[in-house]
Structure 1
Amino acid sequence: MKTRLLHVRANVKELERALKWYKDVLGFTVGGLWPPEKPNYVHFEHEGGAMFAIMEHENYPSPGRFNFYVDDVDTLWKKLKDNVDVIEELFSTPYGSRKFTILDIDGNELGFVQDETLL
């Protein structure tokens, strides 16, 4: 399988505290927050390469999530869904992609995303 690693997320204990650090100490600029009504996720502006994000998460300090972009997420879902631990079943996002998320054998979150704007 060919993939493109375009999105990496680190889990944080307290979103506001971490966000302040990334902005004030590293100079990162917020690119987006999610969900709009009560954000627990922030991604930062980037210039090519992988997008970096932070998320207030109950599994802190686990490694986070690695989102791999693939050409046919539906076929991959059918192939993997019965043989892996699923965190998020395949769904369409409000921002134009389809994705699902699984755990690897060590508890790392692996997302598989199809985004027509990136293919």
Structure 2
Amino acid sequence: MAGTKLEHVRANVTDLNAAVDWYTTILDFEVEAYWPPDAPNYAHFVTQSGATFAVMEAEGRGGRFNFTVDDPDTLWNKVKDQVVIVEPLFDTPYGTRKFTIADPDGNELGFVRNG
């Protein structure tokens, strides 16, 4: 798709603390943030590339990949009746507009317009 670029890659892990320890100790990654604040099951790391790499405590082997798009509404209307919907199109409290679908293997693909 024209105007689409990879923005976010997430690896599912069985133990968030062990994963963060491994990435920070072995690869010298630095945690930028945890989510949600009250009971984190997600951490993303500082990167130089502009893309986000994250780990999330989750069952299953699928990952999550977010793509930035200029017009999520048009893409949503094109695909919504043909896909498994993880999150319908919505506006986030931090100024983005997005939706998330699943591919046939359960990987989650998010399409985001940043605020």
Q: Note whether the superposition's TM-score is higher than 0.5.
A: yes
Could you say what secondary structure the match of 1:27 adopts?
coil
- 1:69 equivalent to 2:68? Answer yes
* Counterpart Cα distance in 1 of 2:77 and 2:54: 28
What's the RMSD between the two structures over aligned residues?
Answer: 1.2
Does the CA contact (< 8 Å) of 2:68 and 2:112 recur in 1?
Answer: yes
Number of paired residues?
114
1:1-119 to 2 correspondences below 5 Å: 1-2=1-2, 3-59=4-60, 62-116=61-115
How big is each residue's C-alpha offset from its partner over 1:22-75, in whole Å with a ceiling of 9 and x where there is no partner? 11111111111111111111110011242100000122xx13111111000111
Could you say what secondary structure the match of 2:20 adopts?
helix
Percent identity of the aligned residues? Answer: 60
Gaps of 5+ in 1: none
Could you say what secondary structure the match of 2:98 adopts?
strand
Could you say what secondary structure the match of 2:81 adopts?
coil
Could you say what secondary structure the match of 1:78 adopts?
helix
* Counterpart Cα distance in 2 of 1:95 and 1:33: 15
What's the TM-score, normalizing by structure 2? 0.91
Q: Which amino acid aligns with 1:79?
A: K
How big is each residue's C-alpha offset from its partner over 1:55-100, in whole Å with a ceiling of 9 and x where there is no partner? 00122xx131111110001111111111100111112222221111
What's the TM-score, normalizing by structure 1? 0.88
Query: Structure 1: which 4+ aligned runs deviate by more than 4 Å?
Result: none
